[in-house]
Structures are given as structure tokens and as C-alpha cells.
């Protein structure tokens, strides 16, 4: 029987079915073990399955499942590397999705107490209030700026993400400036909310679907308005895209809304969504008017590739854009999430340090806010999102 992956399937939240699937996947992975050093989930899975078999049990208890789930930090790299992943083999091994399903079942049966949710909300508020940098929200900046696109400008819809909206509006401003250099008319629908990734990571399907429905509606309405406004043939109109500056959030729009929200609008949005860097590679920005002096030589940059950009079609786009502008790019990868195992973190940090050390100067750049935060916190080096780096080099940001 094919594994259940559809959240609307009647067996999706069946504990016995999930246990059977963990058993099946665990047996395949135990015979392979290629991922044993990627995270803690795999060694825990093998150990617990061996322990269960030794006592005559055939599946893990919900608490044991949770131990395995807690070892997964959702990097997605096991699926990327697996020769038996869905689409590559009839075995359809997708450990990431399976552990996500276990997370959701846990959340449904044991929702976190209200106090935990209030504490999480308070932590977010304190982070925002304690950030000493003055911030104008990205959408406020968009509403205040006066821009009059040329007739015939190519329409583009941006999903800025809540990180850009609240914490890093300069990334959004950089994206708008670069898009305008491609001849695009960039629009941001009002009322968008977080893509819902934090809720999904916690297994909170209801919370995720609520955010997803709202974003799908607003973005497809904006797409529809742009597409019907646009002159030209139907194929040309259909090429209006939704661009996203952060690869992890682009992945949510491209794959998870179809799974969890469903419907033709979610499918339309998935097809229209691209990483902003990939869009810029296809529509190269010209060196048009700058708002301030360009920052001079492009220089050296150590570019960290987020896990999500390695699992998405945008892989390599931002490095190519930086090279076209004259940057000397050294690419590094490796997960820098604080939830990654110590050995993975240490290896990734060493890779970054070696790249910086071999240059002795330059900046570090990453489209993953978590990785960038970790790099900047552990060194005196300048850290910046690659779109911002590109826009500053082109004189598109005046502060």
C-alpha cells in the first residue's frame, strides 16, 4: 500500500498507520545508513527500533516516536540525497515528511498548553522591542514611496515574508530596487501574514492552514489583477510571478500550501512562485539610476548556501548574480541552525571560518536569517543578505 502523505487522507492521523510507516521506513534506512550522521533522528530511530524488536514489539510508542522527531531539525537534506526518495524509487522514502506527520499527530493529541503559546508570543515581542535598530516596516516603506512605473512595466507580485516585514526591511527594499532595474512594476498586496512555517514546524496544522488560506487568497487575487491588467497574449500574462526573497518561505508557497490548503488557487500560486534571485537571473537587472553612490568594488564575499536553496530550483542563482556584478564568490554550505547536531554545526562553522580566513577580508552573506545570525554573532565580520549586498553595490539603498 502506498504511504499516506496527504493531510486530508482518512489514515493520515491514524497512529497505527504512522507506526507501520515508521517501521517500514526505519527498516529501509537501517539497511542503508547513509544519513546516520546528518542529524540525531536517524541514530535514535535505529536504536529505538532495535530496542523494540528485542522486546518483541513491532512499532515505536508515541513517546519513542517523539524522541526521533525531536532529533529532526527539518533541513530536508535526507530527501535530497536519498536514492529511494519519492519520484526516484517505488519505495518512496521521505523521512522528513514522515517526521512532520508524527509532529502533527503529536500536536493534535497533545496540544501545547496555552501558557507555552503565550510565552512564545512574549519572546517574539521582547525580541522585537529589544532590537535597538530603528525600523520602518517594509510595507509602510512601500506605501510611502512614490513610484510611477513605466507603461508596459512587467508586473511582479512580492511575498516579502514576516522576517523582511518586521526585522529586515532593507532586504525587501533591495529586492524592489533590483526588480525595478529589470523593468518590473513590483506590487505587495496588503494584509499578508507570516507564511506559517513556525506553526508547521510545531505540527500546528490548523494555525498553518489559517495563515496559508489568507496568503493564498491575497496573492492569487493580486496575480489575477495583474494578469487581467496586462496587455499581450495569454501566455505572456500567465508569466506574472510571485517572488520571495527567503528560500525557506518560497518553499512553503511552492509546496506546502498545495498540500495543506489545497485547491486550484494554491496550485496556481505554487506554479507562479519563484525565488527572487532566480527571477533576477532570468530578468537581469540593468545598471540604471542609483539612489546613492555605488559602494565601489564588488570585492570578495563568502556566500553561505541555505539548506532550502539547495533543495529548491533557485540553487546557484544568487551566486551567479553576484559573480555577474564582479564579486569574487566563495560558496560554503552546511546547516548553521542551533538545532543542528554539534558535529554538523562545528563542520559548517569551520567551513565558513576557513573561507573567511583564506580571504582575510570581505563579507559573509546568506539568505538564511538563522545562519547569518549565527555567523555574525560568532565573529566581527560583516554579515548581509545577498540581495542587499547586490543592491548596495548598485547604489540602490541609501541607508
> Rule CB under 6 A: which residues touch ligand SF4?
28-29, 32-35, 38-39, 41, 72-78, 81-82, 84, 93, 95-96, 99
CB of 343 to ligand SF4, least distance (A): 13
The least CB distance from residue 202 to ligand SF4, in Å, is 15
Contact, 294 vs 261, CB < 8 A? no
C-alpha cell at 32: 542503508
For residue 322, the SS3 value is helix
DSSP label of 58? -
CA max distance for the chain: 73
- Nearer to ligand SF4 by Cβ, of 76 and 160: the residue is 76
Q: Which three cell numbers stand for residue 101?
A: 506527520
Residue 83 CB: number of other CB atoms within 10 A? 10
| Contact criterion met (CB below 8 Å) for 135 and 169 | yes
Min dist CB 77 to ligand SF4, Å, is 5
Per the DSSP assignment, residues forming a β-bridge with 384 are 365
How many CB atoms are located within 10 Å of the residue 11 CB?
14
| Grid-cell match 532595474, residue found | 181
Nearer to ligand SF4, 19 or 175 (CB): 19
Nearer Cβ to ligand SF4 (74/204): 74
Report whether 374 contacts 352 (CB < 8 A): no
Min separation Cβ 68 and ligand SF4, Å: 8
**DSSP reduced 3-state for 47:** helix
Nearer to ligand SF4, 68 or 222 (CB): 68
Q: CB of 82: closest distance to ligand SF4 in angstroms?
A: 3
Closer to ligand SF4 by Cβ: residue 77 or 312: 77
Between residues 107 and 214, which has the closer beta carbon with respect to ligand SF4? Answer: 107
Q: How far is the CB of 127 from ligand SF4 (least distance, A)?
A: 24
Closest distance of CB 89 from ligand SF4, Å: 9
Query: Min. distance of Cβ 292 from ligand SF4 in angstroms?
Result: 41
Q: Which is nearer to ligand SF4, 72 or 329 (by Cβ)?
A: 72
For the CB of residue 38, give the shortest distance to ligand SF4 in the complex, in Å: 4
Nearest to 70 by CA among 48, 86, 50: 48
Which residue number, 72 or 158, has a Cβ lying nearer to ligand SF4? 72
b vs e for 171-181, b when ≥16 Cβ sit within 10 Å of the residue's Cβ?
bbbbbbbbbbb
Q: How many helices (H) and strands (E) does the chain have?
A: 21, 8
CB contact at 8 A, 295 and 384: no
Q: CA-to-CA distance for 288 and 394, rounded, in angstroms?
A: 9
Q: Among residues 32 and 67, whose Cβ is nearest to ligand SF4?
A: 32
- Euclidean distance between CA atoms 150 and 283, whole angstroms: 17
Residues 315, 308 contacting (CB under 8 angstroms): no
E-strand stretches of the chain: 154-158, 184-187, 241-244, 273-275, 300-304, 328-332, 363-366, 383-384
CB of 28 to ligand SF4, least distance (A): 5
**Rounded CA separation 336/320 (Å):** 23
Task: Select 43 or 149, whichever has its Cβ closest to ligand SF4.
Answer: 43
Amino acid at each position: 500500500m502506498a504511504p499516506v502523505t496527504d493531510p486530508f487522507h482518512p489514515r493520515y492521523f491514524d497512529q497505527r498507520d504512522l507506526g507501520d510507516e515508521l517501521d517500514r521506513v526505519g527498516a529501509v534506512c537501517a539497511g542503508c545508513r547513509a544519513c546516520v550522521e546528518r542529524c540525531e533522528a536517524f541514530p535514535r530511530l535505529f536504536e529505538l527500533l532495535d530496542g523494540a524488536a528485542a522486546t518483541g514489539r513491532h512499532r515505536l510508542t508515541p513517546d519513542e516516536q517523539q524522541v526521533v522527531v525531536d532529533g529532526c531539525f527539518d533541513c530536508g537534506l535526507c530527501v535530497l540525497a536519498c536514492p529511494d526518495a519519492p519520484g526516484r524509487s517505488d519505495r518512496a522514502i521521505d523521512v522528513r515528511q514522515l517526521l512532520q506527520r508524527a509532529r502533527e499527530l503529536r500536536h493534535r493529541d497533545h496540544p501545547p498548553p496555552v501558557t507555552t503559546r503565550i510565552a512564545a508570543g512574549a519572546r517574539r515581542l521582547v525580541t522585537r522591542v529589544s532590537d535597538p535598530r530603528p525600523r520602518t516596516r517594509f510595507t509602510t516603506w512601500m506605501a510611502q514611496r512614490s513610484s510611477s512605473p513605466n507603461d508596459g512595466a512587467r508586473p511582479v507580485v512580492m511575498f516579502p515574508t514576516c522576517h523582511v516585514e518586521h526585522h529586515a526591511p532593507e532586504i525587501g527594499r533591495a529586492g524592489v530596487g533590483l526588480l525595478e532595474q529589470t523593468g518590473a512594476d513590483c506590487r505587495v498586496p496588503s494584509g499578508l501574514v507570516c507564511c506559517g512555517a513556525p506553526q508547521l514546524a510545531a505540527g500546528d496544522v490548523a494555525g498553518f492552514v489559517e495563515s496559508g488560506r489568507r496568503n493564498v487568497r491575497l496573492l492569487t487575487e493580486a496575480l489575477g489583477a495583474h494578469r487581467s491588467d496586462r496587455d499581450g497574449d495569454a501566455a505572456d500574462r500567465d508569466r506574472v510571478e510571485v517572488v520571495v526573497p527567503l528560500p525557506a518561505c518560497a518553499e512553503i508557497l511552492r509546496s506546502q500550501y498545495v498540500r495543506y490548503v489545497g485547491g486550484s488557487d494554491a496550485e496556481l500560486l505554487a506554479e507562479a512562485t519563484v525565488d527572487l534571485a532566480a527571477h533576477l537571473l532570468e530578468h537581469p537587472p540593468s545598471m540604471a539610476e542609483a539612489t546613492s553612490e555605488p559602494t565601489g568594488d564588488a570585492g570578495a564575499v563568502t556566500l553561505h548556501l541555505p539548506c532550502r536553496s539547495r533543495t529548491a530550483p533557485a540553487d546557484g542563482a544568487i551566486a551567479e548574480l553576484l559573480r555577474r556584478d564582479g564579486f569574487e564568490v566563495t560558496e560554503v554550505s552546511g546547516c548553521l541552525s542551533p538545532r543542528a547536531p554539534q558535529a554538523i554545526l562545528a563542520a559548517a562553522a569551520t567551513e565558513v571560518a576557513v573561507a573567511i580566513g583564506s580571504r582575510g577580508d570581505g563579507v559573509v552573506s546568506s539568505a538564511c536569517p538563522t545562519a547569518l545570525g549565527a555567523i555574525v554573532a560568532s565573529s566581527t565580520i560583516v554579515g548581509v543578505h545577498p540581495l542587499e549586498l547586490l543592491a548596495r553595490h548598485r547604489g540602490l539603498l541609501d541607508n
